[in-house]
Amino acid sequence: MVDASEIAGARRADFARGIALDAKTLLEWWTGAAKSLIPQWLITAYMPSRRWVYLRETPTGYFVSETPDGAAEDLATSRQAQQLAHGSDALLILSRDDVFLRRKTLPAASASHVQQVMRLQIPIETPFDMAEVASDTLVDPAADSSNQIEVQQAIIRCDVVDAHRAALSRHGISLAGLDVASSNGTPMGFNLLDPALRTRMDATWPKLNRILTLAVLGLVGAAIALGWISRERQIEMLRSMIVAAEADAKQVLLIQSNLRDEIEIRRMIERRTSAPSRFPQLYASLTETIPDNTWIEALTFDEQSLSLIGLSRSSDTLIETLENTPGIVSARFVSPVVSDGRLEADRFRIEIILEQPVPLSRSVEDNG
């Protein structure tokens, strides 16, 4: 009996696989669509596209063809063959008689070290020394065993490679590869030429274009970075200027405030010095106004206000009497009225607000 949870789990797994497959298909479609939008000249400018030309040795010299099994022309006599060999990557296809081929079965675990493993076995299993030969290794893709891999190795003497390179160099040709002909004459896929000796005719301009592009991107990045640094410096300079301006503004405001205070003091001094008899006139006016049963013990005068301290036996009518006096705007007690039993009078403190001093002085002068 199948458990329902197992069925649900299988359905979820199928659904997840379907989603993964759809996502992969969509990603492949988008990749292909994006690649089709890139112009071919741009791809060629940055990605090398190798153009191979195939050379074969004959008893009379070397022959050149555009395809492994195409029509061949003599390199020594054909100008077209020479131009073709000079403008492409030259791959020399050697006869199977010029190389030593061997097959070997290795554990699958050594797949990542096939080249090293096979090269180390050269002096053990062949009559050659590693320093005397060049070799390359291919893994047979037809082997389907998960535990073992089939490996094929090609070995050639270094003096044979040097002889081919010297012969072709007289024609101005540098080899890009050295392969072995299969049973049907096509290249097997080896490259027996040392990587340091391989030339690539198509790699110069793409490599230069990539270097120039990286240099331009570096310059653009440096310009952006310098602009950002310059902007930060300008902002910092503006902040310093603002702080300095704020300090100067505070100093100016303080000076203005001090000047206003000084101007006000000077104006008060001028007003007081311009009417030196104002206080005696004011005092005389109050003396006439205040009743006889009221005594002033202290009087404080400040511009348009008076502060009176004293005793009165008619304190209940004193405020009204003062407010009815010409030149007085208002009068009020500024402290509680306290009765003094010994003097049979009330102790008071009154604040009086006066009109403009000039009218009061004129009225006193008119009365006098």
If you search the block for the tokens 């407010």, which residue do you land on?
323
What's the longest Cα–Cα distance across the chain?
Answer: 157
Q: Residue 133: what pLDDT? A: 92
Section 299-310 average pLDDT = 80
Strands 61-65 and 52-58: antiparallel
User: What single string gives the DSSP state of each residue in 164-179?
Assistant: HHHHHHTTT--EEEEE
Average pLDDT over residues 320-337: 85
Judged by average pLDDT, the poorest of 34-48, 98-112, 119-133, 334-348 is 34-48
pLDDT above 70 (res 109): no
198-212: average pLDDT: 70
Residue 55 predicted with pLDDT over 80: yes
**DSSP-derived secondary structure for 61-103:** EEEEESSTTS--EETTT-HHHHHHHHTSEEEEEE-GGGSEEEE
Angle at 306 between CA 302 and CA 309, to 5 degrees: 125
- Give percent above pLDDT 70 in the chain: 79
- pLDDT higher than threshold 60 for residue 246: yes
Q: Assign domain 278-367 to a CATH class.
A: alpha beta
Note the pLDDT of residue 6: 61
Write down the pLDDT at residue 316: 86
Residue 349 has pLDDT above 60, yes or no: yes
Percentage of residues in the chain with pLDDT exceeding 90? 12
pLDDT grade for 166, boundaries at 50, 70 and 90 = very high
240 token code pair: 């310093």
Would you say residue 62 has pLDDT above 90? yes
pLDDT tens track for 310-319: 998 888 888 8
Say what the pLDDT of residue 112 is: 67
Q: What is the mean pLDDT of residues 33-44?
A: 70
pLDDT given for residue 202 in this prediction: 60
Tokens of 272: 């007081």
**The pLDDT of residue 50:** 74
Burial of 23 (0-12, 13-18, 19+ CB in 10 A): exposed
CA atoms of 139 and 143, how far apart (whole Å) = 9
For domain 51-202, give the fold. Answer: Nucleotidyltransferase; domain 5 (3.30.420)
Give the mean model confidence (pLDDT) for residues 259-273. Answer: 77
Asked if the model's pLDDT at residue 2 lies above 60, the reply is no
Give per-residue pLDDT as tens, 233-245: 889 899 999 999 9
The residues that bridge with 177 in the sheet, in sequence order, are 91
Taking residues 128-146, what's their average pLDDT? 80
pTM confidence score: 0.46
Model confidence band, residue 161 (pLDDT cutoffs 50, 70, 90): very high
Asked if residue 162 has pLDDT above 70, the reply is: yes
